[in-house]
Structure 1
């Protein structure tokens, strides 16, 4: 603009001299030449500046765009007028827009020229960074209760004169992880508080009643011991889950799943001698690549649940089938069954179908979560089918890559 201003001044002066001053008529041809020359220079400089502006925007769009797509966050570049200069694929996905539609549109208008998801939040932070020329931060969430979208925005000057950037990150996953952690602590505290309250109550009763009868004392002591066992199991399971979460991969080795299942069945019979356990397998020895200690823990949890939630004597059927696709382990009981609406949630930590019944049996809703975590560590799958009052079937599937037949 500084270069153009003297030319504009020369243009106006020459025009006045050429056409309005009578003494300058003799020089009118020269004046007309100067006038046309000045006009041409003005037009050339205007065109040059326009090309430079376009080139600058083109450089941002052309040179920066490939690098922007390498970013895991959504990036929007815009100028001091709020005009979008570039947008990467992550921002397109997050804000549900097309690059071709939004390039050249304004971020700071009251109404978007094209539809943007969360446009009002984007517009507010864009306005603030332009007017204040400093880094701005914003977070918003549509509905945390329903675990819907949660987004963090950071807007800042880029260092290029008149160019700003909005960095957007989907923080929903972080929020979910935080919520899982809070729920885990709350559930663990609740599960521990219940037996502690019971133990404290009976201990104080024994303390306050020195002349308590032998029968009542025996009953109180039995309940105290049972709740101590319950706390011990809960803490042990919590430690197991912590260790499993920290374990990057199961320590694989070849093990005989038929022999392993026989050992689990004998262990269960030692505590439930009246249980009726049937084991069927199509090979005498079936070798799979697994961590025997972890797999035994998972199988014992499934067998104990099958016996615990069945009418005595518990009837449990186990089938081990080797095929070309891999090995399937099917554990079937004839117990209470699981309602259909609860099947999707049974592998969640602290989830129990019947809380009162589970607590009576000493369960805290961690057993199936441990099973699921162990099976995932083996890159295997677990599925469940159940009918109320008819029984439940768990199927563990190991793919061919982990299986051999001796």
Structure 2
């Protein structure tokens, strides 16, 4: 016959086993439901973001703006299953990714039929099992699908964690109930009192000390309870270390952001401020913490946060800080719990780009206005004096022709810039860069036969995928400049080399050089520096801008090193690509 204690213990074990047996399937189903609901909610948020897009390109741009907030993979597909955008495919496949590629996915087909689709499938791209949720939406009368994904292993890990938690909780409940029952029956209070005394000594912020019970076997229930609590204490210490590490990691991430971040409580007292925000607002991090936001003396920021906390909704605004330099900020106030977060985004580069566009239009108008004025003046002279002798009209006509040629060159350069901005993939082809360099060399020498241009080849592989016509424009421009701005006879060296997966092209001259303070401006459109005025030479200021645009469109880089009176070295780095995708 079993003893009463054994019966109680067995009864508790059976009850716990039944409880865990019923809870395990529920845990799996609950976790799965939570993950699916989270993915559906995220899909709804993304659909809400892109529904107001004017076209598909705008839709994709809006989705790209959400990329920093996406927790995993997100795709957008058309009603035929064609992939319009994918957050991971372009980064992982690079040039092999083709927008519009039609892929057949069960969840996408289900979403197109029923509005929502769910599937668990293996991703060959990411090499792992994923949980997919797809949701349909309508834009301009057409169906589109937002497809979100989450690693299945994380779902399994969460499920296992929940199961283990239920298991540990069930075991702990059984042990505690058995021990309490044993104490009531046996009136055995001393061990439990010892445990209570140890726990009582625990203070908030301290680690729970180990429990040692004297006079009891290590196999006794109370000793096992003490061991369980010690194990739990160890896990708490480990978890505390993990949380501390995660907090430090989040702090490091926030500090590495380009945006300023300030967190406040419900009373608008500052609880966190990163270094970027402190630099933008010119405040010390240590002195700003725990102070009220109003003390920063930025009433616009304070009012925005106040409205955000009062109405519990996201608020945005703009602000301008400083005079030299001026910083343009976009302010985003986000409610968080009882407090809020203020994000300061530096949009100065956007404003500078707008100013550069204005300058470009003004400079283009000015450059075209001057030759037009010259032509108009000479034309009026000829019109008003039709009887001028030929020896007088001939220089005038030559001046008009030269001015027309200059204006034609400016217009041609502007058209070249516009053409480069819309470079189609169909114009790319494989060709030998060495042959192109030799052709450019012959072009320059035909116009300037006294020059000496040496081509130094340091690699046997100079095949490249690019637009040969545009690269010829760029290399011709650099070689011509190297000769033009050198004392005759010019000495120019062209070096072709290969490094890893890049082709290196260097054009080295022994010319007048470029002042150090002007090096950062040489690729700006219409920028003219001192050497453009030497020897009576004129320049539109577009040549090097065209060169840089061409190199940028080929995913390359161009840099310049120069010293006045010594010469300049232009270095082009182009990636070697054998196919488009």
Corresponding residue to 1:340 among 516, 520, 542 = 516
Q: Name structure 2 gaps, 5 residues minimum.
A: 1-249
Give per-residue Cα distances to partners, 1:157-201, cap 9 Å, x unaligned.
x699x9777564322122111111111112112211221121112
Contact 1:298–1:371 (8 Å) recurs in 2: yes
TM-score by length of structure 2 reads 0.47
- SS at 1:319's partner residue? strand
Question: Structure 2 residue aligned with 1:261, among 437, 440, 443?
Answer: 437
Q: Secondary structure at the match of 1:331?
A: strand
* 1:250, distance to aligned residue in structure 2 (A): 9.7
1:230/1:362 contact within 8 Å kept: no
**Counterpart check, 1:140 vs 2:320:** yes
Tell me: CA distance 1:72–1:249, structure 2 relative to 1, closer, same or farther (3 Å): farther
State whether structure 2 residue 302 is matched by structure 1 residue 123: yes
Over 3 Å counting, the alpha-carbon distance change for 1:212 and 1:313 in structure 2 is farther
Equivalent pair of 1:195/1:231 in contact (CA under 8 Å): yes
Residue pairs, 1:353-364, within 5 angstroms:
353-354=529-530, 357=533, 361-364=537-540
Mapping of 1:205-220 within 5 angstroms? 205-220=381-396
2:293 match: secondary structure: coil
Out of 147, 152, 164, the residue aligned to residue 330 of structure 2 is 152
* 1:367 corresponding residue in structure 2: 543
Root mean square deviation of aligned Cα: 4.3
**Alpha-carbon offset, residue 260 of structure 1:** 0.7
Aligned to 2:225: none
C-alpha spacing 1:350/1:164, structure 2 compared with 1 (3 Å): same
Work out which of the residue numbers 277, 283, 287 in structure 1 matches 2:453: 277
Q: Which runs of 5+ in 1 are unaligned?
A: 1-64
Hey, what's the Cα distance between the residues in 1 that align with 2:568 and 2:492?
10
Shift of 1:132: 11
Q: Which residue of 1 aligns with 2:507?
A: 331
Q: CA deviation at 1:236?
A: 1.8
Distance 2:413 2:326 in 1: 31
**1 or 2 for the larger relative contact order (CA 8 Å, sep ≥6)?**
1
Alignment partner of 1:311: what SS? Answer: coil
Closer/same/farther in 2, CA of residues 220 and 395 from structure 1, 3 Å limit: same
Who is 1:8 aligned against? none
Farther off after superposition, 305-314 or 365-374: 305-314
Q: Which residue of 1 aligns with 2:572?
A: 396
Distance 1:75 1:284 in 2: 52
Aligned residue number for residue 348 of structure 2: 172
Distance 2:316 2:417 in 1: 41
Verify the 8 A CA contact 1:137 1:153 in the aligned structure 2: yes
Q: Is the 8 A contact 1:83 1:106 kept in 2?
A: yes
The partner residue of 1:201 within 332, 356, 377 is 377
Equivalent pairs counted in the alignment come to 326
Tell me the residue number matched to 1:288.
Answer: 464
Does the residue aligned with 1:226 lie in a helix, a strand or coil? helix
Partner in structure 1 of residue 292 of structure 2: 106
Q: How many Å apart are 1:122 and its aligned residue?
A: 2.0
Q: Distance in 1 between matches of 2:444 and 2:571?
A: 19
Q: Is the 8 A contact 1:250 1:378 kept in 2?
A: no
> CA contact under 8 A between 1:358 and 1:364: conserved in structure 2?
no
Deviation of 1:305 (Å): 1.1
C-alpha deviations, 1:221-269, integer Å up to 9, x for none?
A: 1121112121121122122223333448795433212211111122223
Deviations 1:317-365 (A, max 9, x none): 3233446675432323333322232222211211121387279534211
